[in-house]
Amino acid sequence: MKIAIGQINPRVGDVAWNLKLILDQTHKAKGSGCELVAFPELSLLGYPPRDLLDFPQIVDENLRALENIKEASSNICVVVGYVEKNSSSTGKPFFNSAAVFYKGKQIANYRKWLLPYYNIFEEERYFESASETVCFKINNKNIALSICEDLWNEQGFVTRLYDKKPIDALSNLKIDLVFNLSASPFELGKNKTREKLFQQVSKKLKAPVIYCNQVGANDELLFDGSSFVMGENGKTAQAKAFEQELLVWDSENSKPQVNAPELTEAQSLLEGLSLGIRDYLDKTPAGSICLGLSGGIDSSVVAAIAVKALGPNRVFGFAMPSKFNAAQSLEDAQKLAQNLGISLRTLPIDRIYEAVKKELEPVVGHSLKTLTLENTQPRIRMTLLMAIANEEGHLLLNTSNKSEILAGYATLYGDTAGALSVLGDLTKHQVYELAKMINANKEVIPRRILERAPSAELRENQTDQDTLPPYDILDSLVVGHVEGLKPFTADVWPKIPPETLKKVSHLNSISEYKRRQLPPALRVTSRAFGMGRRIPVVGRKPTE
């Protein structure tokens, strides 16, 4: 039996666009001789729809689209995720469902059992849980359905959260294949976890598991696709990561059909973040982006990723030097722009900076504090960048990284500004690793940028380490505290000086109000600043 996995990139709320993707892939699957094609979780509406579900017309449009899919199923079976209304007078208003069409009829309907409500997930807010197994037959194959979380309630995964176990219900049935329609967000290392899980499920059910995942980016969430077919002895087919694809698998072919290369961490970051930028612009839609190029590592990496995502003609760089910037910073920014093939315009900020000092000092009655003067500079730069963005129709990219964000080493309405944060879930170490990956084949980011000590260049001879601990220490604390929920205590970090722990703990605690005002940050780890993280701004923090 030839089966197609429709790894598509839906647009949240754009039913017409998503329907076209589904119909196009269905047509291709027919042309490839497939008897069945499956699409991801909620593929008609896109995932996550969130409060778009409060608008009845969007849900109704998704239901009407099922009729078009029914018509397309005359000589192929189509499995598609959609939002189903709950006709009961009790419970949540919708089901997260999968419909099966064959020969112009709907032959099966499945409703998701396990509704995640943790981290970035909030499905219990909208959907009612179900508890019925559903199988259907095609070409004498008994095929079972599941949706994403339904197969994650296995030992070692998310068992604590649920008292239902769809896998146990399926294990009582004789089945030949199990479909898992998913919208599983990307995290570094998550694909290995998925493979381990689904191999465990395949052994338990004694049947191959077909994992069909969404690809693309919706706001800060990245979806890598990476759909596969998993048997008891390992993968027998694998789709590419971060690309839309129709993967065809022949169940009668015993040879593994695994052609997609396995990506390194840096490659995954580069592909995922460039997809995040591209989809943010194309789904918004917006024509182009702008960003400040300081000659530093963060803005250089963001510019390179943006060019990979959009091409050089949609990326506009601006250098805004002050008297505190070394001459080599502008030289490096110019060299970077030349290497990337993007325009770079220069707007010195000294006259504006001096004018601000002149106007403010009589108001406050004394010379401005050093910190005030430092923060004034990035705010001037962002005012200029936002004015240019307004005038020329760009979106502004933010270039702050996760290490700086934890320590509050970013000026509110300055470094924190922008429509999208590209590096907001990456430590400084990961930014450097990404730079090395970008330079793997030729020097794109000038070598001097990688070798110079990082500096905000807001006063004479400044470096980041004047204010922050060395980045190898800070980065380990960022990962341990944000992703591992470890406290800043000496018993947890015996090799780090107590005064450093106290300082980072304090900086983290007093910076929550800044993080609340950050742009959406593309998410690449299990815990990011932003969506899914709900720390109060006021009140005592566990780190205090």
Q: H or E segment at 383?
A: helix 370-392
Catalytic: 290? no
Task: Tell me how far apart the alpha carbons of residues 337 and 272 are, in angstroms, rounded to a whole number.
Answer: 22
Q: Do the beta carbons of residue 487 and residue 481 sit within 8 Å?
A: yes
Beta strand pairing call for 2-7 and 245-250: antiparallel
- Residue 404, judged by CB atoms within 10 A of its CB (0-12, 13-18, 19+), counts as buried
> How far is the CA of 475 from the CAs of 46, 102, 285, 419, 481, in angstroms?
34, 53, 35, 25, 10
User: Going by DSSP bridges, is the β-strand pair 245-250/257-258 parallel, antiparallel, or unpaired?
Assistant: unpaired
CB-based contact 170:178 (threshold 8 Å): yes
Beta bridge partners of 394: 288
Can you list the alpha helix ranges (DSSP code H) found in 410-530? 428-438, 447-451, 471-478, 498-510, 512-516
Distance CA 15, CA 9 (A): 12
| 112 catalytic per annotation | yes
Q: State how far the Cα of 281 lies from the Cα of 286, in Å rounded to an integer.
A: 5
Residue from 34, 135, 148, 212 carrying the catalytic annotation = 148
* Contact by Cβ (8 Å): 518, 405: yes
Return the axis-axis angle of helices 297-310 and 327-340, rounded to nearest 10°: 10
Q: Checking DSSP bridges between strand 94-102 and strand 77-85, what pairing results, if any?
A: antiparallel
Residues 6 or more apart in contact with residue 39 via CB below 8 angstroms: 6, 8, 22, 25, 78, 79, 80, 81, 181, 212
Catalytic residue at 359? no
Check 77, 84, 112, 402 and give the catalytic one.
112
Given strand 234-238, what is the order of strands in its sheet? Answer: 135-138, 141-147, 177-182, 209-213, 228-231, 234-238, 257-258
Question: How far is residue 326's CA from residue 440's CA, in Å, rounded to a whole number?
Answer: 27
Q: Kindly list the catalytic residues.
A: 41, 112, 148
